[in-house]
Chain A
Amino acid sequence: DQQVKQNSPSLSVQEGRISILNCDYTNSMFDYFLWYKKYPAEGPTFLISISSIKDKNEDGRFTVFLNKSAKHLSLHIVPSQPGDSAVYFCAATPAGGTSYGKLTFGQGTILTVHP
């Protein structure tokens, strides 16, 4: 039972253009959402997060949008740079209770930004 889904295994974008990575979830208990970036042979690194009380969070070139009614979030990177090429994971967790901090990850999307 995949509670967090990233339906696009890969995405290819030209440098300078916008990259849009999508993520869907099924568990209505999820209250906090995160995006992680992973380079080969390294652990994932935290990129940006959003609480369910917001619908948008922006940090420099990275913006995360949350649509709670659709159980959908997206990560926008603009402008995209070749150094952004990596695997991007969407993750979600309830805000409290016994599952506090336990992240459920999507399968990842490989982003390739071409010069």
Chain B
Amino acid sequence: GENVEQHPSTLSVQEGDSAVIKCTYSDSASNYFPWYKQELGKRPQLIIDIRSNVGEKKDQRIAVTLNKTAKHFSLHITETQPEDSAVYFCAAWGSNYKLTFGKGTLLTVNP
């Protein structure tokens, strides 16, 4: 089945800096890669997603890149703000109908 590895597990940045979270997946047939943000005690919420036929997608301060050949994708957050502090999960939708999540990255943005 699909295996999604996510790094780093924790990330601390200063306000205004950029943050990058990287994920790799194992199922070469995976075709859809969403990213979720989960604040403490809250539900995960979709922040951006990318399909396998697209290399990059951007939404304001958030961007995601996908390298199908290397089977990895990354989340980039620019000009970080304290409200960006949360746990971020990458996920990959494999050929077996399963949406598999990485173990998450705790992002802390220090004012």
Tell me, yes or no, whether A binds B. Answer: no
Interface residues in chain A, defined as those with a beta carbon under 8 Å from any beta carbon in chain B: none
Interface residues in chain B, defined as those with a beta carbon under 8 Å from any beta carbon in chain A: none
